[in-house]
Amino acid sequence: MKKAVKEFFRKYRDILLLNKSIAVSGIISFVIGMIFTESYAGFAGPESSIENSIYTLVVGYASYLPIFAYLFYRDNKDRYVDPYSSTINSHKLIRDIRKLFAAFSVSEAVFIVTKTYIHFHQLELGYLEPYQAYFVAELIAWIVYFVSMNSILKAVKMYWVGENSRRLSDPS
C-alpha cells in the first residue's frame, strides 16, 4: 500500500504541486476576502451588495495572483533549466506559459461569474451575514474552478504523466 501511494505521488507530482499552489494561494486569498467583505459591509451598509461583491473580487485577486505565481515558480523552476548547461529552455517555458494562460483565462472567467453572481444574490437575499455569503460563493466557485482548471490543463496536455513526471508535456 505504501509503495502504491509513493508511486501515485511520484507519477502525479506536477499536477499535485499545481493544485497545492492553487489551494494554498486560494485559502490565503479567501481569508483576506472574508475579512474584507465583512469590513466593507460594516462600512458601507447592506445596500452596497454589488460594490461589496466587486471590491471583494478585486482584493481576492490582488492577493491570490502573486501568491500563486511565487508558489508555482518555487515548485517548477527546475523544469525549465537544462541540468548540464544550466541554461533556460525558453521554448518549453513559453509553451507552458501559453498553456497556463489559456487555462487560467477560461477558469478565472468561470470563477468570476460564479462567485460574483452567488455572492451578490446571497447578499441581496439577506439571509446570511456578508462573511457567510462570501464563504458560500467562494466555496462553490472554487469547486467549479478546480474542475475547470484541471480539465483544461489535461486537454492542452500541460503535464506529461509517466515514469518521470518532471518532464514537460513532451516525453521527448
Domain count, the chain: 1
Residue 169, in any domain of the structure: no
Residue 65: C-alpha distances to residues 29, 83, 104, 168 (Å)? 9, 29, 11, 23
Q: What pLDDT digit, counting tens, does each position of 10-48 carry?
A: 888 888 888 999 999 989 998 999 899 889 988 887 778
What confidence tier does 114 reach under pLDDT thresholds 50, 70, 90?
very high
> Residue 128 sits in which domain range?
2-155
Look at residue 167 and tell me whether its pLDDT is greater than 80.
no
> What's the whole-number mean pLDDT along residues 45-63?
86
- Give bridge partners of residue 168 from the DSSP assignment: 159
What confidence tier does 169 reach under pLDDT thresholds 50, 70, 90?
low
Residue 135, in any domain of the structure: yes
Residue 107, in any domain of the structure: yes
pLDDT at 161: 61
Residue 30, in any domain of the structure: yes
